[in-house]
Amino acid sequence: MPKPLIGISANEKSISNDIPIVHLSSSRNFADGVRKAGGLPVYLPVSSEVEAEDYINAIDALILTGGQDIDPRFYGQTPLSNETAYFPDRDRFELALLSNALKMNKPVLAVCRGMQLVNVLLGGDLYQDIPNHSQGLPLGTYHHIEVKESSQIATLFQTGSSVNSVHHQAIRKLGRGLIATAHDPRDGIIEAIELVGYPLLGVQWHPEFLIEESPNNQALFDYLVKKV
Ligand code: MN
């Protein structure tokens, strides 16, 4: 039996301000989590919407990763700051990946920006800037979560579990068919979502940075590969 092929959306990063060379960029931990779960990881470069459909045909499940803020024009708001570096080609590609994944019934794990992207595709919107919620460097954990009973995430995380927090944006209005399944009890920020009746988990934290120390976070990757 071939291993399930798990597509991981990659970001881009210039190698320096002076040199016009761009590298793909994404945490290697995503590949580690997929491998430990028994899947075969493959990183997807930012591509056209047509290629997004080809990629979804080729892979068995999708991971949407973190990164820059989504261009607010995709959810009907104007940017709060004109200094933010958006990457609309990436937004468009990943929205197309997700929309094709949902059409073809492929399981999805959506991390941080990825979770926000799920919300945007389904008609929800975001807070562009939330105060006092980020820990800065993604080392260790930062706040607890309150988990909704009988949700999918409740089979992996209990209320009181500690997660990292390196986001300054959050879900405001939920998109169609989505339910919030974990919150930060301090400020009510949505920390996890699910799409009712569909194998999709969205988490606002970064499980990939915690897979070594936390079996629950590795279990998110196991969930994805098992749903194939
Ligand atoms: Mn948080």
Please give the pLDDT value at position 93: 98
Does 206 participate in catalysis according to the annotation?
yes
Q: Given 94, 112, 167, 191, which residue is catalytic?
A: 112
**Gap from CA of 19 to ligand 1 centroid (Å):** 35
**Gap from CA of 206 to ligand 1 centroid (Å):** 9
**Gap from CA of 111 to ligand 1 centroid (Å):** 12
Chain length of the chain: 228
In the structure, ligand 1 is a single-atom ion and the residues with CB under 5 Å from it are 165
**Gap from CA of 78 to ligand 1 centroid (Å):** 24
Structure tokens at 116: 């926000």
Does 23 participate in catalysis according to the annotation?
no
Please give the pLDDT value at position 209: 98
3-state helix/strand/coil string of 180-228? EEEECCCCCCEEEEEECCCCEEEECCCHHHCCCCCHHHHHHHHHHHHCC
pLDDT band for position 82 (50/70/90)?
confident
Q: Using CB atoms within 10 Å of the CB of residue 10, give its burial: 0 to 12 exposed, 13 to 18 middle, 19+ buried.
A: buried
pLDDT band for position 15 (50/70/90)?
very high
Does 49 participate in catalysis according to the annotation?
no
**Gap from CA of 222 to ligand 1 centroid (Å):** 22
Nearest to 190 by CA among 178, 207, 200: 178
Please give the pLDDT value at position 74: 98
> 126-151: per-residue pLDDT in tens?
999 999 999 999 999 999 999 999 99
**Gap from CA of 189 to ligand 1 centroid (Å):** 7
Structure tokens at 145: 């979560």
% of the chain exceeding 70 in pLDDT = 100
Burial 45-79 (b: 16+ CB within 10 A, else e): ebbeeeebbebbeebbbbbbbbbebbbbebbeeee
**For residues 161-182, average pLDDT:** 98
Q: What is the mean pLDDT of the chain?
A: 97
Please give the pLDDT value at position 69: 97
